[in-house]
Amino acid sequence: MRELQNLYIDGIWRAPAEPAVLELTDPATGRPSGRAALGGATDVDRAVTAARNAFASFSITTAGERTGLLEAIGAEYARRAEDMAQAVTEELGSPLDLSRSLHVPSGQSQFHNAAQALRNLGLVEKRGSTWVRREPIGVCALITPWNYPALQPAGKVASALAAGCTIVLKPAQLTPYSSVVLAEILEAAGVPAGVFNLVMGRGSVIGDALNQHPEVDMISFTGSGPVAVGVLTAAAPTAKRVVTELGGKSPQIVLPDADLDTAVNTAVLYALLNSGQTCGAASRTLVPRERLDEFLAALTTAVEALKVGDPHSQGTSMGPVVSAGQWDTVQGYIRKGIDEGARLITGGPGKPDLPDTLKDGHFVRPTVFADVTNDMTIAREEIFGPVLSVIAYESVEDAITIANDSPYGLCGYVTGSDPQQALAVAERMRTGYVLINDADFDFNTSWGGYKQSGNGREWADFGIGEYLETKSIVGVHA
């Protein structure tokens, strides 16, 4: 049992102004796993005041000083890697192998990537007698989701620190364990008091207080579209900058000449990884009609070979979804797919056959639907669970049209043997990020989407830029 009784404000671990706790459960067993402090509006005020006071000195540190700090954080993160992996598995239900191989490295790399980007980022440009300066925007509220609890806070924190901003982090209430480990890492690495503050609590309390706070200059929010509307509305009276990343319904286009193994591996990895709880999940796979049967046969074999079970057991491919509420949501989408006429290939409603020790866990059967049309609910809405829709297409032009026929535009995938054709298709996808074939995910570039997938970008120099203001000083003769 973890007991997280304190918030981290102004360099001190302190109890909330009005003591309250949230009982947390292990997604794999349904049993209690710990308790976390719930902050309130008074705690937000304290954290924002600390960040505002710290901004005066931190904002004028040099890029070199901040680069050194980021590298120190990365080194401390490496030292605490196993602690972070255990925290992610306990709160999210991610298989421990995945926490170690994906969640932790993706978080740690953000600090090294930000340091490298800062080294190469020109913050002052001379144009004759005019100097153009890029300066930190101020106090930043970072509001993060539960599905990547190591990566998401790290990406935002690294970019904000690199820019010279000060921070109040509000993690998802379901996944606070990893954010406490992150706060400990930052403290041990020497982040000055007040520069980073952690306030855990309910979004309706902490998030609302941050969004409306007159001393908060910027909000970086990752989450759902409906919640983002509330964030933008609350931020509008004080003209805050708001950067959002709001999820997607990402397509994989399997081109007619695609290698079948690569196409199947991409579908399984990027649709079902992290129990499908990925905003960029390849949840729509578009396949040439003439190759549909062979693709489905190979895909079914691969999906049914996945080992669903105890996240702490070696070799587990897929753990549970994060909560009972999320399990109910995913089950509703699976039933909706059946009711709307999609053909169930494998998986389906209910839980997989697992030992009694896991019977109360939130496990979902990895599910594949075929005969899906792009107007079905399971092809339009983000499910956030291990559910893959396979859509047949008649021509490559048809596939591109279907892929772009979505309110979202976060991520896309193209699988094909002709590099030039694959690139040409990728260039026409209306998404902010496209992977071709089995390319490794690149955390050292921009992340963000088109349309209702949000605005702004995260990671590396693109992420740092969101936390900077631009100032022109005219008439400089120095």
Active site members: 245, 279
Q: Alpha helix (H) ranges present in 171-212?
A: 177-189, 208-212
Convert 244-281 to b/e letters by CB count within 10 Å (16 or more is b): bbbbbbbbbbbbbebeeeebbbbbbebbbbbbbbbbbb
For CA atoms 102, 104, 110, 115, the dihedral sign is negative
Tokens at 477, concatenated:
């003769």
Could you give the CA distance from residue 43 to residue 73 in angstroms, rounded to a whole number? 25
Dihedral sign (CA 377, 378, 380, 385) = positive
Question: Edge-to-edge strands of the sheet including 21-25?
Answer: 2-4, 32-37, 21-25
Q: How far apart are CA 317 and CA 309, in angstroms?
A: 8
**Strand 12-14's sheet: what is its strand order?**
12-14, 7-9, 196-198, 166-170, 139-143, 218-222, 241-245, 454-455
Contact 463, 155 (CB under 8 A): yes
Q: By the 8 A CB rule, do 236 and 212 touch?
A: no
Round to whole Å and give the CA distance between 30 and 362.
7
CA 240 to chain centre: 22
DSSP 391: E
Q: CA 310, CA 357: separation in Å to the nearest integer?
A: 9
Number of residues in the chain:
478
Structure tokens at 359: 């019977």
Rg (CA), the chain: 23
For residue 458, what is the DSSP state?
B
Residues 6+ apart with CB under 8 A from 439: none
Q: Quote the strand ranges of 6-92, DSSP E.
A: 7-9, 12-14, 21-25, 32-37
